[in-house]
Copies of this chain bind each other. A is one copy, B any other.
Amino acid sequence: MPTVYATRRAHFNAAHRMHNPEQSDEWNRATFGECNHPNWHGHNYVLEVTVAGEPDPETGYVIDLGELKRIVHERVVRHVDHRNLNLDVDFLQGILPSTENLAVVIWQRLVDALPSGRLHSVRLFESERNAVEYRGE
């Protein structure tokens, strides 16, 4: 039986700041540069969630992408869109909001909302030039 990878793209806009509170302000400025700016900056994030599996013989779908859209919205987008990623999001408390860490947390938010073993990857674009991918490994 074929394994097909189905991807749904979503968007959210958020403010954030790179700042490790366990380090000095000096260390943070030297390490993160302008990304440490105290009054925040922000991004239009693009999120691509990929689910793997056999197409259902009845529907032809690995997953109903409308249903995947709803899960991604419910579990992720509605919590982070038009929010401050350092201050406002329960499941990001204590997490340094690098794109890498965001992708890992988004994976954790989604993996239990999907059938076991189906989530394949989370890709997150912070800009056209910077992106990360996490595959749960």
Which residues on A are within 8 Å of B, measured CB to CB?
Answer: 2-11, 13-16, 18, 20, 23, 31-35, 37, 39-44, 55, 58-62, 65-66, 81-84, 87-88, 95-101, 103-104, 127-137
- Which residues of B are found within 8 Å of A96, using beta-carbon distances? 59-60
Query: Within the complex, what minimum Cβ distance (angstroms) separates A10 from chain B?
Result: 8
B14 touches A42 (CB 8 A): yes
Can you list 28 residue pairs at the A/B interface with Cβ under 8 Å?
Answer: A2-B134, A4-B134, A7-B130, A9-B131, A15-B39, A18-B59, A18-B60, A20-B59, A31-B59, A32-B59, A35-B82, A37-B83, A37-B88, A39-B87, A41-B83, A42-B42, A43-B43, A44-B44, A44-B127, A44-B128, A55-B98, A55-B100, A60-B98, A60-B100, A60-B101, A61-B98, A61-B100, A62-B100
* Further contacts, 11 of them, CB under 8 A, given A7-B133, A31-B59: A4-B103, A5-B133, A5-B135, A11-B128, A16-B42, A23-B58, A35-B82, A37-B88, A41-B84, A55-B104, A60-B101
